Amino acid sequence: MVIEQNGLTDMAKKPTTKKNTPKKITTPRKITKGGKVAARRKPVKPKALKATSDELKGFYREMLMMRRFEEKAGQMYGMGLIGGFCHLYIGQEAVVTGIQSTLKTGDTILTSYRDHAHMLACKIDPKVIMAELTGRETGISKGKGGSMHMFSVEHGFYGGHGIVAAQVPIGAGLGFAHKYRGTDNVSVVYFGDGAANQGQIYETFNMAELWNLPVIFVIENNQYAMGTAVRRASSEIELHKRGESFRIPGEAVDGMDVLAVREAAARAVDWCRAGNGPMLLEMNTYRYRGHSMSDPAKYRSKEEVQKMRAEHDPIDQVKQRLLEGNIMSEEEMKAIDKEIKTIVAAAAQFAQDSAEPAPHELYTDILVAE
């Protein structure tokens, strides 16, 4: 087997040892004695939502960092410091925070163009993210990727993809790489409710199930895609059922509750690490802002948005748990908020103080056919 992509060529050429012997990729589906495909084993049932005091504090800090970072990005976009498109994650913070808390070194994630918070969840420095948003040479993609095209192999983050659903087959490829290398790592690929209607997703579902790949498909269902309600664009609005015809188990999750997300994600991760193949999670969430900064979001009422913020805000839910459990006081939370605002302000200043890429950078990091 010769594989020429994703850095596997070198691996294919290495002399095999017990440590690096790749798994033989054969038909992985379980067959009964009668020659029929065995029935899928169902994932284990949900557990009670629990978290330690330190975990709740960590979730609060992480989600608040995402919220304040995105608010600053929106402000800088309005000032003309960020060009092109800018898609904010405000309201959806519980999804990536809960899922990321279940992963380990070697696991990989990738998402669409709404990617700022995913990078923060990967513990990437806010300064280099903000510098990238403003197109500066100190940005994580040297100022050439902007908001939608950021990347860090070091942190297991494989993009930031501007083409709707393009990241999904790549995510399956990363899952293949994990399996080929004989690790128990998983690939987590995020996409939205709008992307869930793209054909390449279903080709990917088929391949992921046939090859029993350790991939968690996460549909971040924020209800409106680019501006059309799910019920108007999808004949099957229970998106977690989209994998059923491919024998991929799916589950709907309250994507506004970080503990519900973490619990479902933990079971999905265990499922994949155990070699059971892919799993699909539909995270029912909500974005407070428009699809992008240029979207006035006139397809929904202000009252609807206000109701969601008042009754389901992911940060407020954790804040309430912290207060009711006497884990933190209002004053302590205000201190954390002040600290985070200082970090975000420093990131914004760092970005503005950084130089733009030199003209010669137009000719670097590109593939040219001879």
pLDDT, tens digit (0-9, with 9 covering 90-100), for 70-122: 999 999 999 999 998 999 999 999 999 999 999 999 999 999 999 999 999 99
Is the pLDDT at 19 greater than 60? The verdict is no
Phi and psi at 14, nearest 5°, equal -70, 145
What global pTM score does this model have? 0.87
Give the chain's domains with CATH numbers: 50-351 (3.40.50.970)
Edge-to-edge order in the sheet of strand 108-110: 108-110, 187-192, 215-221, 279-284, 250-254
The pLDDT value recorded for residue 262 is 97
Residues with Cβ within 8 Å of residue 290, at least 6 apart in sequence: 227, 296, 297
The pLDDT value recorded for residue 47 is 73
Contact (CB, 8 A) for 284 and 253: yes
The pLDDT value recorded for residue 367 is 82
CA distance 341 to 345: 6
For the chain, give the mean pLDDT: 90
Tokens of 3: 């594989």
Mean pLDDT within 281-293 = 95
